[in-house]
Amino acid sequence: MCHRGTKTRRKAINAITDKIIGCAIEVHRNLGPGLLESIYEKALCHELGSRGLHYENQAVVPIVYKGSKLGEHRIDLLVENRVIVELKATERLEPVFKAQLLSYLKLTEKKVGLLINFNVPVLRDGVTRVVL
């Protein structure tokens, strides 16, 4: 049985992630590695907006445990209300960063996230796609 709706949703999410990665490559091409994460975040927001992508910067995610709200956390970017983007500017990506993104996906009930580390010579080496 073919799930046409699932294929269509997957294609739409892939198109969004491709655009996000393209924007991140453009930012990296212009700024290079070695800056603060906050600078890359602002530049990426500028690039996303210039390409017509809707995004929420520092989107608030409530932390709920067994029906009780414990607090809230902020995610770097939520693009098109479908893809969570977690930005880093570190020497190396630690396993906890991927675990963090997986937690954000679970908390928001989103399926796809991108972990982007700008502190690399070639940005493609700094992009990790995470699927829940």
DSSP-derived secondary structure for 26-54: HHHHHH-SSS-HHHHHHHHHHHHHHTT--
Please state the domain count of the chain. Answer: 1
Is there a contact between 117 and 35 (Cβ–Cβ < 8 Å)?
no
Work out the percent of the chain whose per-residue pLDDT is above 90.
Answer: 80
Q: CA–CA separation, 103 vs 132, rounded Å?
A: 9
Does position 32 have pLDDT exceeding 80, yes or no? Answer: yes
Does position 104 have pLDDT exceeding 80, yes or no? Answer: yes
**H helix runs in the chain, sequence order:** 4-31, 37-50, 95-108
Confidence of residue 93 (pLDDT cuts 50, 70, 90): confident
